[in-house]
């Protein structure tokens, strides 16, 4: 008999930790499920683990695994869509996972996840428990939706809803890339255009040297900022202050707030449709905002909902949702179509965010263009001044 350390959630939503003796991990998981618990984590007590607060573990969770072992939104949507279609066609979950493990559309990382998850499921684990072993790929939201489908017997439907949600997230990101394309082109122009006189008069090698002299420090600064952000975003005070600042910046704050709230609406709508309890749906929706300040304000309404208050009354006290969204939510409560009205609220918030982003990119494009013009003008003037000074000095 081996000893296993576990972390579980009871029917009231409270977390518990402890140890359990069993022949293997599958047997330990089966005992906990028989007692009515939902398993968050289970491992052999003798298994070596990195210290949870260590720098190596932090870097692994926040940088290396997400970058080198993660999956993008499109790959996740493909993964869940394929699972949905296979289960809907009558395939067993193990056969579906084995088949996904041999397909190439979802990427190498997800193929490995599919194969390993199939092994876990064959040993008696649930799909949600198997996927929870990969927190750098699957969010708590994904696991919660899958678990809701498992408990209600509609796993294929939940997987389809999850794929739909990820498709919408990908569509929003695509629109953001299109909106910011012109400013990106202008930034590239700032790097490569000013050195063109060097290319004309001194050749390509001198031009490349001058361009790299400008480009490499910029890339190092960007890399340092990105690594610092990924590392320190796990530190609560730093993340909280940063998220508050994001919301206070003119125009940018409006877009950030609307995009965060649109994710909240869509997640809550999706989880409502899947049959997830109200308090749990709001908790996952709050996390989906990606903003700690908004998350804490929304989470403050959850105890009131669990005590019997309506969702609209509880969220009105938080002061997070705009009046239009509150009106839609009240209408949804009265008509019994909360998920449909929240989806409409998400579409409204996304439209408002797109308007703010479009305005912001136009202003940013003009400012960058003026800055480029001033910079190139300075370079040209300095070039001709030095050129004529050399000619005059020769006489």
The model's pLDDT over 290-313, given as tens digits with 9 standing for 90+, comes to 888 999 999 898 888 888 888 888
**Domain stop point among 333, 349, 365:** 349
Its domain, for residue 323, covers 252-349
Q: pLDDT higher for 190 or 293?
A: 293
Q: Is residue 147 part of a domain?
A: yes
> Which CATH number belongs to the domain containing residue 295 in this structure?
1.20.81.30
Domain tally for the chain?
Answer: 3
Mean pLDDT of 85-114: 86
Tokens 């994904």 sit at which residue? 142
331 and 259 in one domain? Answer: yes
Q: Is residue 38 part of a domain?
A: yes
Number of Cβ within 10 Å of residue 34's Cβ equals 8
The whole-number pLDDT of residue 144 equals: 76
For the chain, percent of residues with pLDDT exceeding 70: 88
According to DSSP, the β-strands at 15-22 and 38-44 are: unpaired
Q: Is residue 126 part of a domain?
A: yes
87 and 2 in one domain? Answer: no
Query: pTM of the predicted model, to two decimals?
Result: 0.63
**Domain stop point among 177, 206, 225:** 177
172 and 114 in one domain? Answer: yes
117 and 28 in one domain? Answer: no
Alpha helices in the chain (DSSP H): 25-34, 55-59, 65-68, 73-88, 93-100, 108-122, 127-131, 140-152, 155-179, 181-192, 196-202, 204-232, 236-248, 252-273, 278-288, 292-299, 302-306, 311-318, 323-335, 338-394
314 and 274 in one domain? Answer: yes
Adjacent-strand bridge partners of 296 = none
Q: Is residue 386 part of a domain?
A: no
30 and 114 in one domain? Answer: no
Q: Is residue 36 part of a domain?
A: yes
The model's pLDDT over 191-202, given as tens digits with 9 standing for 90+, comes to 787 777 778 777
The whole-number pLDDT of residue 12 equals: 59
345 and 259 in one domain? Answer: yes
For residue 135, pLDDT beyond 70: yes
Average pLDDT, the chain: 80
**Domain stop point among 129, 159, 177:** 177
77 and 169 in one domain? Answer: yes
For residue 2, pLDDT beyond 70: yes
142 and 94 in one domain? Answer: yes
Q: pLDDT higher for 51 or 176?
A: 176
110 and 44 in one domain? Answer: no
């Amino acid at each position: 008999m081996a000893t296993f350390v576990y972390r579980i959630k009871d029917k009231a939503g409270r977390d518990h930790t402890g140890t359990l003796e069993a022949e293997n991990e599958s047997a330990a998981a089966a005992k906990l499920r028989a007692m009515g618990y939902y398993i968050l984590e289970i491992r052999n007590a003798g298994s070596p683990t990195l210290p949870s607060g260590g720098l190596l573990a932090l870097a692994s969770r926040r940088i290396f695994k997400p970058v080198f072992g993660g999956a993008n939104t499109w790959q996740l949507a493909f993964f869940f869509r394929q699972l949905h279609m296979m289960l809907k066609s009558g395939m067993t979950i193990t056969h579906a996972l084995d088949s996904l493990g041999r397909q190439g559309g979802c990427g190498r990382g997800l193929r490995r996840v599919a194969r390993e998850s199939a092994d876990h499921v064959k040993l008696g684990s649930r799909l949600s428990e198997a996927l929870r072993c990969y927190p750098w790929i699957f969010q708590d939201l994904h696991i919660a939706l899958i678990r809701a489908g498992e408990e209600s017997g509609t796993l294929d439907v939940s997987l389809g809803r999850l794929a739909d949600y990820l498709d919408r997230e990908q569509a929003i990101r695509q629109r953001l890339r299109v909106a910011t394309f012109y400013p990106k082109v202008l930034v590239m122009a700032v790097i490569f255009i000013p050195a063109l006189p060097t290319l004309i008069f001194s050749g390509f090698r001198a031009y490349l040297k001058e361009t790299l002299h400008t480009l490499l420090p910029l890339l190092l600064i960007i890399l340092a900022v990105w690594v610092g952000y990924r590392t320190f975003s796990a530190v609560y005070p730093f993340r909280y202050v940063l998220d508050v600042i994001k919301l206070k910046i003119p125009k940018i704050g409006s877009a950030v707030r609307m995009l965060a709230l649109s994710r909240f609406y869509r997640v809550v709508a999706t989880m409502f449709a899947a049959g997830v309890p109200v308090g749990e749906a709001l908790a996952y929706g709050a996390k989906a905002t990606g903003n700690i300040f908004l998350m804490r304000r929304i989470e403050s309404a959850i105890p009131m909902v669990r005590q019997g208050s309506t969702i609209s009354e509880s969220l009105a006290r938080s002061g997070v949702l705009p009046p239009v969204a509150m009106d839609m939510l009240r209408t949804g409560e009265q008509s019994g179509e909360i998920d449909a009205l929240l989806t409409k609220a998400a579409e409204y918030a996304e439209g408002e965010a797109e308007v703010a982003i479009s305005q912001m990119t136009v202003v940013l494009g003009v400012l960058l263009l003026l800055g480029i013009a001033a910079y190139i003008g300075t370079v040209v003037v300095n070039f001709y001044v030095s050129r004529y000074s050399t000619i005059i000095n020769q006489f």
